[in-house]
Amino acid sequence: MDNMLKDSLSLLTGQGKIIVLTPTGKGSYMKLTRHYFSIKNSGIYVWYKSTKKRAKIWNKENYLAEYAAKNNLKYKSEVVMNGFAQLEILSY
């Protein structure tokens, strides 16, 4: 992950931002269906199923916030998608 962020930062210019959508691991299939059900949007179920277990660990570790602090970057976070995800933004 560090290498990917380092490469991304090397491409960042001026007011550029690195935006990461991190799953929270919260919610249920019922809530997901209620908010996002669509035959065209079936990928949301794959995303939810494949990230649910690890998501709580990612959020608890607060990796991107710590990375930003260590590298003198601005960090902003906002819960989105009705609590299913967290939008994390890194910038200079």
Q: What pLDDT was estimated at residue 86?
A: 93
pLDDT in tens, 47-64: 888 988 888 888 888 989
Q: Which of 1, 7, 3, 9 is nearest to 73 (CA)?
A: 9
pLDDT reading at 39 higher than 80: no
pLDDT reading at 1 higher than 80: no
Verdict on whether the full-model pTM lies above 0.75: yes
Mean pLDDT within 29-58: 85
CA dist., res. 51 & res. 58, Å (int): 10
CA dist., res. 5 & res. 80, Å (int): 22
Mean pLDDT within 67-92: 94
User: For residues 59 and 86, is the Cβ–Cβ distance under 8 A?
Assistant: yes
Contacts of residue 42, defined as CB under 8 A and 6 or more positions apart, other chains included, come to: none
